[in-house]
Structure 1
């Protein structure tokens, strides 16, 4: 988790001076206060280390992965100069172990009127 936190902090520091990302932050601050994105759009070392207990972060990350990391939510594109049967066997070999939770996609329609 320490290595991941440092990678996120590094990305945050690289994006900080970018006008594009600063505009994005400004736009997000204009959202309705009832929408989470109004108060949190970027993670950094402070939000992922100082503001949350390690056990809580670990638990939430694994809950997120269990919910969102599912084959039915993914799309795969593969291209190579190989016969289709070879490509198919590679895909089956490499991706059949991706879990399937078959949960419905998130419904964001309830947030459509909260944005601005």
Structure 2
């Protein structure tokens, strides 16, 4: 894990969110299910657009699985992804689990960049 300095008033959980105990640890620390899960993960780029897309989509799908496991009803999920053509399965799953899905391209992102964020709002639980 990357080391982080402590922040007053912040409970810092340094753990693998793929650990089966992670959802329970998170909810125990929060005292309830979270309102929001944010994933800014991206695999290191290789320069091969298709490979980079597939690797980052895997991370996004994994983060979505975690969000669907831990979010409270009405919660939201925001995740970085790369455009590339294989996001349809993820979008279909998110549409089943959330009331609305939006694609968000940050103003700071270059026009030629394939980076975008998926915002899934109002978890159906």
TM-score of the alignment, normalized to the shorter chain, above 0.5 = no
Structure with more relative contact order (C-alpha pairs < 8 Å, separation 6 or more): 1
Length-normalised TM-score, structure 1: 0.28
